[in-house]
Chain A
Amino acid sequence: MTTTDIPRPVDAAPGRAVAKKRPRGAGSGGLRRAVSATTLLWILACLYGLPVLWFVLSSFKPASDLFSYPLTLVPHNPTLSGFKAAWDSANFSQYFINTAIVCVITTILTVGVSCCTGYALAKYDNKWLKAFFLCILATTMLPGEVMLAPEFLVVRNLGLYNSFAGIILPAVLTATGCFMFRQFFLTVPDELVEAARIDGARELSIFLRIMVPISRPIMLTLAILSFQWRWNDYIWPLLMLNDPNKFTVQIGIQSIVGAQNINWSVLLGASVISMIPLIAVFLVFQRYVMGADINAGLKD
């Protein structure tokens, strides 16, 4: 977002106060503060950026150079052989397609269902809606990982074992998504709904024609979050999928890590490839994540 720096007169005021007496002192004080804040910021940023940088640059090294001392940050003869080996090995391209299918379908369903639920929770006033809201709240406290075994049995009894539906359906209901939409629709004035009603619009067409279009930013935010959750999901696909042709990328990477002798060249290549879609999506839609008031929904 561009609104990074909301003017905060935290330190501007003393600057001004001093400025009245000693104009030059204020300037150097501000400068000193700017230097220290910037230095701290970038030291911390390096701590976060360097591991990723080292990892990505390592993946461009040929397998023979990975462990050769002295270690160098920038590869001497950069090569794509690690990526090629990873892509060709063990069905990785298939895993990639599988994960993309699962992510896209789940994301579309999650956004649609959360939008409907959030709108109902925000704009209708019924006892049972409030009760359902509490139920949704409960799901945040008890995530799927906690009920691994029974949830597995339920999905198996529904006949969804070893199918994409078995990964997609349990993931569609998300409390965060419902909260985000509810919170957004609470900010939409009730008069808008009332006016449409007076004009004779039916309830569902008010939702579809007016509310869905204006909630586009929230949709994108939730879509990115959902895509990230599903792309990075590991344990549930691992339990649900039996057929190697249906494995997801994360399972593929873990199977390389789990091997007796880790093939680091392939592992680095596969990991970096798996990072690309999310980082690409994020960089394109950055402002929808960065600007999102995500906690708004979780606040109450």
Chain B
Amino acid sequence: MTKRASAVSASPPRRRSKYVLAPLVLIAANVVLFALFFVWPAVIGLVYSFTNYTGVGAFQFVGLDNYHHLFGDSTFYDALTRTLLYAVLFVPLNFALSLAAANLVVSKHAKGTSVARVIFFIPWLLSPIVVGVLWRWLFGENFGLVNYVIEKLGGSAVPWQSNADLSLLVVVMAASWAWTGFSMLLFIAAIKNVPTSYYEAASLDGAGPWRQFVSITLPSIAPTSFIVILLNTINAMKEYPVFVALNNGGPGTSNNLLVQYIYETGFKRGQIGYASAASFVLMLILMAVAIVQLIVNRRVENR
């Protein structure tokens, strides 16, 4: 997109490579940071994933042993499947909620949109730890507001904390709730960029609001939708603090996700080499997600 834009608007070719020193000075700080905190860890991470390094002292190369162990480790599989399940639940829920919020907020029929927009946004300001605490307070089994209301209405207390699946569900709701604000902002910007003439034409043809939403809004904001899905998928795959504050990956270890698994093997048990191997698997998954997204996005944009 930008490439096309700059090809049209860029000044004559003499600009090319005429200035070297100035841009170099300008990006120098970020280049150093990139090398130190991205390239270096990535390289040693890859190297350590083939060793039995424990964080201190000498280490030996063990070939693919770590990866072999990893694929035979049922704890790792549990963490992996739980993380994928979490992502599959969280991403669509967050998508639907933030799209709904964005549409209502830009709707000119609704009253009080500017206040509502702030309300939708405030949860995003809370830290994942506080979000976890807040939902733990709401969904406490013996003391939470939700169970209190359920009992008042004649139901029986729901085991939000001691049932593994319900526990995951609470985290899914909490995270979707907390992340709505940001996704909503992206959607609002996208919806506002849809040319109003499309809607005028559609309504002249007799299309109702729902039809207009499906046929105009959704296709027009497709690039933004992909960004939201991509960012949220990455966020879901690396989720940790909300779990830690809400149920500490519990009950037991049933909701330990990948990052928690990496953290516990690497830092609590000191198996840096093994944890690096797990990190690389996570990295490959994220890269696969990103590439799939990119391909789909290209296809949609070129349609």
Contact = CB atoms under 8 A, between A and B. Distances in A.
Interface of A: 2, 4-11, 13-14, 17, 30, 33-34, 36-38, 40-42, 44-45, 47-49, 51-52, 54-55, 58, 66-67, 69-71, 113-114, 116-117, 119-121, 124-127, 129, 132, 135-136, 138-155, 158, 169-170, 172-173, 178, 186, 190, 194, 203-204, 207, 228, 231-235, 239, 250, 253-254, 257-258, 264, 267-268, 271, 274-275, 278-279, 282-283, 286, 289-290, 292-296, 298-300
B204 interface: yes
Contact of B122 (A14, A52, A173, A274): A52
B71 interface: no
20 contacts: A4-B113, A33-B109, A37-B109, A41-B107, A45-B116, A52-B134, A116-B26, A120-B22, A135-B34, A146-B286, A148-B262, A148-B279, A153-B272, A234-B129, A235-B259, A239-B267, A250-B127, A257-B133, A282-B122, A290-B121
B110 A10 contact: no
Nearest to A126: B17
A135 B32 CA distance: 12
A10 to B, nearest CB: 4
A38 B276 contact: no
Contacts of A138: 38
B84 to A, nearest CB: 15
A100 B1 CA distance: 39
Given A5-B113, A8-B196, A232 B127 contact: yes
- B133, B203, B212, B275 pick with most chain A CB within 10 angstroms: B133
Given A135-B34, A295-B186, A42 B16 contact: no
B118 A234 contact: no
Interface in B114-143: 114-130, 132-138, 143
Interface in B200-216: 200, 203-204, 206, 209, 212
Contacts of B55: 153
A4 B104 contact: no
B160 interface: no
A160 to B, nearest CB: 10
B251 interface: no
For the complex, would chain A's binding face be called helix, strand, loop or mixed by DSSP majority? helix
Contacts of A298: 227, 231
B41 A147 contact: yes
Given A38-B109, A141-B286, A44 B2 contact: no
Given A5-B108, A6-B192, A295-B224, A148 B275 contact: yes
Interface of B: 1-3, 5-6, 9-11, 15-17, 19-23, 25-27, 29-31, 33-34, 36-38, 40-42, 44-45, 48, 55, 97, 100-101, 104-130, 132-138, 143, 145, 148, 177, 180, 182, 185-186, 189-190, 192, 196, 199-200, 203-204, 206, 209, 212, 223-224, 227, 231, 234, 238, 240-241, 244-245, 248, 259, 262-263, 266-267, 272, 275-276, 279, 282-283, 286-287, 290
A293 B278 CA distance: 36
Contacts of A129: 23, 27
B113 A190 contact: no
Contact of A136 (B30, B125, B245): B30
A269 B63 CA distance: 51
A38 B112 contact: yes
A10 B189 CA distance: 17
A40 B241 CA distance: 31
Contacts of A41: 104-105, 107, 110-113, 116
A146 B272 contact: no
B240 A145 contact: yes
Contacts of B1: 299-300
A187 B203 CA distance: 33
